[in-house]
Amino acid sequence: MTDLTPPDAPKPARPHFSSGPCAKPPGWSLEKLSTDSLGRSHRSKLGKARLKLCIDLIREVLQVPDDYRIGIVPASDTGAVEMAMWSLLGERGVTTLAWESFGEGWVTDAVKQLKIDPTVLRADYGELPDLSQVDWSNDVIFTWNGTTSGVKVPNGDWIAADREGLSIADATSAVFAQDIAWDKVDVLTFSWQKVLGGEGAHGVLILGPRAVERLESYTPAWPLPKIFRLTKGGKLIEGIFSGETINTPSMLAVEDAIFALEWGKSIGGLSAMKARADANAAALDKLVQDREWLGHLAADPAIRSNTSVCLTVDGADTDVIKAMAGLLEKHDAAYDIAGYRDAPAGLRIWCGSTVDAEDIEALGPWLDWAYESAKS
């Protein structure tokens, strides 16, 4: 590799393009966070009020239906998905969809840990499985947006309105950026660290009425750890969905999430957040269209993510990608843009609403320089 002369061009003002944890909202600073809840019990009147405010803001900004429960749970999006799987599955057949690494993780849990012998529908990175083949008499687990492949489901039309099973959507890189068909979703999970630019370690579990009905009428055959238990005496533990968390949360992380949600509300709410993500993805697509050596891993625009956009790099292997990412980080032009370790060698650039389009536009000459340096 030859480190060529860097371009005489402006760098992104905020070079934070990681796909998780993602860029903080514009204008964020630690000093702007409310600190009254820090050093206090999360079960104090103040602590529970701040947790409840966070839940209420999620409902308002994300436009979650009134009859859906929202809970803050341990272990990020992974914890939220696994709580749903361990608590809800086993009542009927299961279908798992996988077109990237996190979807494959849910397949592994279903096959090797729960041992429920699911039907598995797979597709290669950059593609979707045939969604028409899904049997909706089964419970169905899928990623709404595949963070490591940059492939999303086009909409909720493929989900049966008269489904017998539950639809369980890992939507951690889709919410606040893509339309969610709530009438087609029984369980949805996400984490603050993605689309809100929040901190890790906490997940959000959203349960629709059909999921609550399942929880209160079905007991899994396997034991449930304490942090997975959503019912007591056959009834939903309602406190979980009003700020009484299962285990101790970080109130600093909660305050950070509140800041991000209030920022989203201040710019115009969900529609404005989606518009920012779309504008960012369009700015990145223009960079791709202007360069023969760049391409989209998701070739079909209808299923291409507007958040975790995955790019192919002509002739590049893992070493070239690592060199490019290292050069860009060294010069503070872009942080953390190498593709996911299990994905085909390439770049992954976060385009969620907390990123500014002008920073993506500024990437162009720096990507050119890193590519020429890495391959020379």
- Contact indicator for 171, 190 with CB cutoff of 8 Å: yes
Closest CA to 70 of 179, 192, 161: 192
pLDDT tens track for 327-349: 999 999 999 999 999 999 999 99
pLDDT tens track for 224-253: 999 999 999 999 999 999 999 999 999 999
Q: What is the CATH number of domain 30-265?
A: 3.40.640.10
pLDDT tens track for 298-318: 999 999 999 999 999 999 999
**What pLDDT band is residue 376 in, cutting at 50, 70 and 90?**
confident
pTM: 0.98
Long-range interactions of 127-135: CB distance < 8 A, separation 24+: 127/99, 127/151, 127/298, 127/303, 128/99, 128/153, 128/303, 129/97, 129/98, 129/99, 131/97, 131/158, 132/158, 134/95, 134/97, 134/158, 135/93, 135/95
> Which segments of the chain belong to CATH 3.40.640.10?
30-265
Do the strands 94-98 and 139-143 form a parallel or antiparallel pair, or are they unpaired? parallel
According to the model, what pLDDT value does residue 48 have? 97
According to the model, what pLDDT value does residue 242 have? 96
Q: How much of the chain, in percent, has pLDDT values that exceed 70?
A: 100
Measured distance CA(94)–CA(91) in Å, rounded: 9
pLDDT tens track for 74-133: 999 999 999 999 999 999 999 999 999 999 999 999 999 999 999 999 999 999 999 999
According to the model, what pLDDT value does residue 356 have? 98
According to the model, what pLDDT value does residue 145 have? 98
163 C-beta neighbours (distance < 10 Å), count = 18
Pinpoint the alpha helices (H) of 125-218: 209-217
For residue 144, pLDDT beyond 80: yes
List CB contacts of 177: < 8 A, sequence separation 6 or more: 145, 195, 273, 274, 277, 306, 307, 352, 353
Q: How much of the chain, in percent, has pLDDT values that exceed 90?
A: 98
pLDDT tens track for 2-30: 778 999 999 999 999 999 999 999 999 99
Measured distance CA(270)–CA(275) in Å, rounded: 9
Measured distance CA(311)–CA(315) in Å, rounded: 13
What is the helix (H) or strand (E) element at residue 319, kind and residue range? helix 318-330
User: What is the rounded average pLDDT of the residues 345-364?
Assistant: 98
Q: Which CATH architecture has domain 269-375?
A: Alpha-Beta Complex (3.90)
Q: How would you class 303 by CB atoms within 10 Å of its CB: exposed for 0-12, middle for 13-18, buried for 19 or more?
A: buried
Angstrom CA distances, 142 to 207, 225, 278, stand at 15, 23, 23
For residue 277, pLDDT beyond 80: yes
Mean pLDDT of the chain, nearest integer: 97
Peptide bond into 344 cis (omega under 30): no
Measured distance CA(26)–CA(354) in Å, rounded: 6
pLDDT tens track for 157-180: 999 999 999 999 999 999 999 999
> Which segments of the chain belong to CATH 3.90.1150.10?
269-375
According to the model, what pLDDT value does residue 2 have? 76
